[in-house]
A and B are shown apart, each in its own frame.
Chain A
């Protein structure tokens, strides 16, 4: 227990770093993911193909490999940034593919009659997407998006292996310095994640049930 109390400040900083990392990556990945989803449903073939290729490649690549490209390959072409920024890039690139699929499945969940009605009153592709489809898709899309965000928060831990001192990195450091108290030190780290992921999971579940009833 002492190890946690002595390093409470470090824990707090690690927790804040985890939150910043997750928030920044989530916002960027959601933007990129929505753009990719729009590309994947558009009538323009090259955009569709590019979106599909992106998702298929990224989805089948381990996040750790994406981190490797970000941290070790970017410096090879003279792009040198801090480890934190590299981590944001890797997390954004990876999770955008999953946000894209969440948004796309939301678009597909809107009943076909809605799109047909929008077209029959003369709305264009952009208008029917913006005014009719997306507002409805938004509702069904929230639970899967929360689930991807939960996964993203857990995945920020991988940044620990690449020199970012977030929560898991702090835990590893404190555990190495206090090898007699590894169990409480790591349980403390676990608690920090559960405080976020458990309530978020319940929220997603509750929203999912509400959407299921009202749909």
Chain B
């Protein structure tokens, strides 16, 4: 789209773009340079500090943290998708005594900070006599929050289908449940895959909140390593952890983009992420 904002440029425009590029590179290089000299003058690029990442202990620790992150994310993803599908069907129900409470539930839990839900699960459940480990408190809160969002994604996917699909299904004598199951859901699933995956990326990022309740995921493990080794190792270790997160999430995001292109060609445009909750 951005190509339509300006013409194919002539010689004068090309010169102007070249000047703009040069200035742009200079400004960005200057910013990076200031940051780099500042870091370097505090010894942030010392080989000795970065060598900590080659230690087998540190690598094993980060690996364990990644596994714990993936475990929490995997369990929460499975539960959220199942519960989200139920919430979507409930909210689409024609019985008001089903759709109204489900709608209220979804709005309520979308509007609360995830961290508050994690604290709630971790502090309140034991008081009610339900023993809960930090893993399950985290999984529970992630599931309650993300199932509400994923339910909305499913609902948007189903509502995005042309009305003719429902009408045609009714016309050939299908009941409402059959219409949903046989006609609408299979088509909607393909349309909502990209939005669903970007929400799963969000869920994976949010497992990092587990460090607040002492769940030994990637970030908590990194913090532990820095506290043990000393603050001067914070830059290499936190950078390594950020890189691990970015690698895992970028892989998921690229899958989403690839699926989007693939499904758009075959099944029509994907639905937008309905809530832009991606930022959450």
Contacts and interface: CB of A to CB of B under 8 A. Distances in A.
A64 B113 contact: no
Interface string A117-159: 0010000010011000100000000001001101110111110
Interface string B179-194: 0000000000000000
Interface string B205-227: 11111011000000100110010
Contacts of B219: 62, 64-65, 68
25 contacts: A43-B17, A43-B20, A44-B20, A56-B250, A57-B246, A62-B219, A65-B219, A72-B234, A72-B238, A76-B235, A78-B42, A112-B4, A147-B279, A151-B278, A154-B280, A155-B113, A155-B280, A158-B209, A168-B115, A168-B119, A171-B119, A175-B119, A175-B123, A193-B113, A197-B112
Interface in A51-74: 56-57, 59-65, 68-69, 72-73
B39 interface: yes
Given A168-B113, A198-B107, A151 B277 contact: yes
A19 interface: no
Contact of A186 (B120, B241, B246, B253): B120
Contacts, number: 182
Contact of A65 (B5, B127, B238): B238
Nearest to A202: B107
A30 B195 CA distance: 23
A68 B28 contact: no
A64 B219 CA distance: 8
Contacts of B226: 72
A146 B116 CA distance: 21
B124 A115 contact: no
Nearest to A197: B111
Interface string B227-262: 000011011001001100110011001000000000
A63 to B, nearest CB: 7
B232 A76 contact: yes
The 9 tightest CB contacts between A and B, nearest first, are A60-B249, A157-B113, A197-B111, A151-B279, A147-B276, A62-B205, A62-B208, A98-B279, A64-B208
Say whether chain A's binding surface is mostly helix, strand, loop, or mixed. helix
A41 interface: yes
Nearest to B222: A68
Given A45-B21, A56-B250, A72 B209 contact: no
A194 B112 CA distance: 6
B238 A69 contact: yes
Contacts of B159: none
Contacts of A76: 42, 44, 231-232, 234-235
B62 to A, nearest CB: 13
A60 B114 CA distance: 18
A82 to B, nearest CB: 19
B276 A102 contact: yes
B119 A116 contact: no
Nearest to A79: B38
Contacts of B276: 98, 102, 144, 147-148, 151
